[in-house]
Amino acid sequence: MSRSPLITWSPSVTLVPTRVCFNACGYCSFRRSPAPGELAGDGPLSDGLDAGAARVRLKASPAAREVLLLSGELPPGSRGRGNWFARLRSLSALALAAGRLPHTNAGPLSLREMSALGRLNPSLGLMLEGLGPAYDALHRQAPSKRLAVRLGQLEQAGRLGIPFTTGLLLGVGESAAQRRDALELIALLQRRWGHIQEVILQPWRPDGTTAAPLPPEAVNALLSTIAEARRILPPEVHLQLPPNLWPADRLVEALEAGIDDLGGIDTGDVINPAYPQPPPPALAERLALRGWRLRPRLCVHDRWIPWLPAPLRRRAEAMAQQLAAAG
Ligand code: SF4
């Protein structure tokens, strides 16, 4: 084994501020279409998560340190955008008040929005997704998924000094060269700004009745991509694989190829509900048999904690110490 036998994960609980989304990505089973007039109004969204329901969710997950805010998107400049953004802020504040750390992934943000959320969230996220005609076709109805918009967001987060999570959605018809090109772009941004704490390598899986485990040939191709990502990305960037989308009996091969993080694990996966999350104790036990140690972490990786504004930094330092003492 050539790498340190340590693999991290983030005890996490997911809150969904809304599933309403003005994009319509070809692979999405998370989104809800806006009702007529819903995007033009400034009233609350019909499925908006209120503070009471959010508190109940947090109370039900006392061990979760990360609160993942995963939201559908309202169009920039729409009347409802202000309310939508106010909800992201208030849920972030609620997470902090409950002693947790929020991590928001809600699509592209204006400079002002990102800067405001960066004062409440130790880390933010946005998938780069990928580049090439396969993504263009899937994103024909998704204006915020244009490559230039996504790259601009990674650049903006770098300029603001916000620890950032990005990633690629893999297996939608892209070539190996296009995967490489996407990784090279992330590496370039990382060399310029240093803020990319992790890159998720997410295998695309069908949901609902067509859900199926990743076939062996796809696993083999992804193992090559993982090794390539480890070669291309600077060494401080963590490589993350969602364990529920990968065959359990081949997880160690992924770790040996370069994966060193399993991401946020909640009791379920709201994006891919057909793929149950492995319970972390069972995961730890399985990995221990092969010589790997599973260690919990915060949504912001240790190296980037010193980047945070003072109040968030103090809190993250204290929580990281608690996790280390418990682990
Ligand atoms: S932007 Fe996200 S929520 Fe909206 S359609 Fe695309 S994948 Fe679904």
Task: Give just the sign of the alpha carbon dihedral 82, 86, 92, 93.
Answer: positive
Tell me, what's the pLDDT at 128?
98
Q: Which atom of ligand 1 is nearest to the CA of 72?
A: 3
CATH level 2 (architecture), domain 6-13+107-326: Alpha-Beta Barrel (3.20)
Each domain of the chain, given as residue ranges in start order, spans 6-13+107-326
Position 48 confidence tier, pLDDT thresholds 50, 70, 90:
confident
Tokens of 94: 């609620």
Determine the Cα–Cα distance for residues 37 and 30; give it in Å rounded to an integer: 20
Q: Tell me, what's the pLDDT at 228?
A: 98
Ligand 1: centre distance to CA 153 (Å): 16
Query: Which amino acid belongs to residue 119?
Result: R
Give yes or no for residue 36 having a pLDDT over 90.
Answer: no
Task: Give residue 144 CA to ligand 1 midpoint distance, Å.
Answer: 9
List ligand 1's pocket residues with C-beta within 6 A: 21, 23-25, 28, 30-31, 72-73, 107, 142
Percent of the chain with pLDDT over 70: 98
C-alpha distance from residue 22 to each of 19, 88, 128 (Å)? 10, 17, 18
The overall longest dimension of the chain from CA atoms, in Å, is: 57
C-alpha distances out from residue 47 to 67, 241, 259, Å = 19, 30, 36
